Structure 1
């Protein structure tokens, strides 16, 4: 089968190639998925650069990609949960970096897989599991938000926009940081937008009418502002700044969990969660997708469509 691969850690995206690789083995407790769409996440190019080598081993050549939506074309032993022909989606991270989702087919442990709702396109389903799971876990960590004010740093990004929608659905008043170009977009999601940058804490306090009850940080480097606007006893979490734990916050990393992805699918099926697609790329365009992700200015998800 064809797949995008790299043979060693590198910051140079020219090291990504598309070539024939062996077919995945369908191990017990797994399903073989024919990939229809696979979401690009910043972690994908960070892994290629070796930034996470201290956390996860790599078996080269590596096929990048942790998100997937597709059709089951094979099932392993003792896997009664799914059958050939089922439309599914998954956050497909494995314990070792190697057989990822930017390929024509991928084998995924069944515990990470859930059914794709008919209301989601392949591209939306392929872009939801990791970003959505991160958003969901972050909002869960902040406790009850009904009637409370939540500040979201990076509210227009792939994770932030999903977190805004989840929080609004739970009855929170959401204030979201974004560039001026994305303020109207945030309003469509139900958030009150605020320009990031110098003076942010004062703008947030003015908009909120005082301290906020909770803060979710999806960009990093925001701890000083978070602590300045958070009420005493308020909750906060970050996916990008581990130092928040020194100040009573949660530092979060999402793990593959089909039941969690099913919660996201249910919200999407009910029309409560929209996945915006920024751009799609073929396998030969993975390097271009990584460059777009690295720019930090993409609104919505970047999707690989094999």
Structure 2
């Protein structure tokens, strides 16, 4: 089968399609014929060698965290899915190094959910990693209905989901983003705050007492702490970029984990029209270097998905 791998770290051309053996599902697992798999910043970090220090040494790394496709075979004991089911799923990549950018991928059945019926598979492929990261971060924040949340990078892959999910939970959401994304942020039900050096002042003007929590997807760090009240919670998506705690603030980072039940909840929201998926581009798997180049250039509003 075809799969996207990295044998030697380097520029986008280091990511390439190669032939690998067809995986077989074990007990409790499903094999999925992949339609689309999104490209994420973590793939770029892996390909460049930025994560080499935390990865076990091996001949190659198969890239990809999430997917949409069709169940092809099921392992012993699996009753929740059968061949022909359209699904989405997330690989716990750092734990298993089980990349999803391949024609066929085996995942635990508990990491998979029925795909949305309202969108094509290529669009559905943008949901699992970013959607679960946002959902699990909101759970970590633990804010109650009516409290205020600042989301940095509010128009990005994770931030865009976080804004929509937080509004759906009844939070007052302030979305920090560029002026070109004001319409998206306000259309999702949040208050737009223009990013910049004085952003914290604008947040304080909107919420004089300070917000109750911050989800820092843009990795702004310490400057964002000025925007909120003492003794509450700050969550980001990358532990090394977390600021030092101050004023009794709890600082934490979300480490996304596969969860089929949570993924099914996100799918339900998509099909009900309460969660919008954004697809920026689809590219054949063989054009993976172009996908890395495009994602690395920034400015994409939506997922970049490789098709198989």
The TM-score with structure 1 as length reference comes to 0.93
- Alpha-carbon distance change, 59 to 114 in structure 1, aligned in 2, over 3 angstroms: farther
Q: Tell me the equivalent position of 1:163.
A: 162
Structure 1 SS opposite 2:107: strand
Question: Structure 1 CA distance, aligned partners of 2:143 and 2:176?
Answer: 21
Question: Structure 2 CA distance, aligned partners of 1:244 and 1:207?
Answer: 23
Superposed CA deviations along residues 134-154 of structure 1, whole A, max 9, x for unmatched, are 100111111133112211110
Q: Which runs of 5+ in 2 are unaligned?
A: none
Structure 2 SS opposite 1:108: strand
Q: Tell me the equivalent position of 1:287.
A: 289
Superposed CA deviations along residues 262-292 of structure 1, whole A, max 9, x for unmatched, are 1211221222111111111110121111122
Q: Pairwise mapping of residues 49-128 of structure 1 onto structure 2 (< 5 A)?
A: 49-57=48-56, 59-94=58-93, 95-97=95-97, 99-128=98-127
Question: Structure 1 CA distance, aligned partners of 2:141 and 2:180?
Answer: 28
Q: Tell me the equivalent position of 1:268.
A: 270
The alpha-carbon deviation at position 222 of structure 1 amounts to 2.6
Q: How many aligned positions are there?
A: 303
Q: Tell me the equivalent position of 2:237.
A: 239
Question: Structure 2 CA distance, aligned partners of 1:233 and 1:6?
Answer: 44
Q: Tell me the equivalent position of 2:4.
A: 4
The alpha-carbon deviation at position 18 of structure 1 amounts to 1.9
Question: Structure 2 CA distance, aligned partners of 1:6 and 1:234?
Answer: 41
Structure 2 SS opposite 1:79: coil
- Alpha-carbon distance change, 80 to 56 in structure 1, aligned in 2, over 3 angstroms: farther
Conserved in 1, the CA contact under 8 Å of 2:3 and 2:17?
Answer: yes
Q: Which runs of 5+ in 1 are unaligned?
A: none
The alpha-carbon deviation at position 245 of structure 1 amounts to 6.5
Conserved in 1, the CA contact under 8 Å of 2:7 and 2:14?
Answer: yes
Q: Tell me the equivalent position of 1:180.
A: 179
Q: After the TM superposition, which parts of structure 1 deviate over 4 Å for at least 4 consecutive aligned residues?
A: none
The alpha-carbon deviation at position 251 of structure 1 amounts to 1.2
Structure 1 SS opposite 2:80: coil
- Alpha-carbon distance change, 110 to 56 in structure 1, aligned in 2, over 3 angstroms: farther
Conserved in 1, the CA contact under 8 Å of 2:222 and 2:244?
Answer: no
Q: Tell me the equivalent position of 1:198.
A: 197
Superposed CA deviations along residues 180-221 of structure 1, whole A, max 9, x for unmatched, are 111111111111111112111111111234411111100113
Which 10-residue stretch deviates more, 60-69 or 150-159? 60-69
The TM-score with structure 2 as length reference comes to 0.92
- Alpha-carbon distance change, 55 to 262 in structure 1, aligned in 2, over 3 angstroms: farther
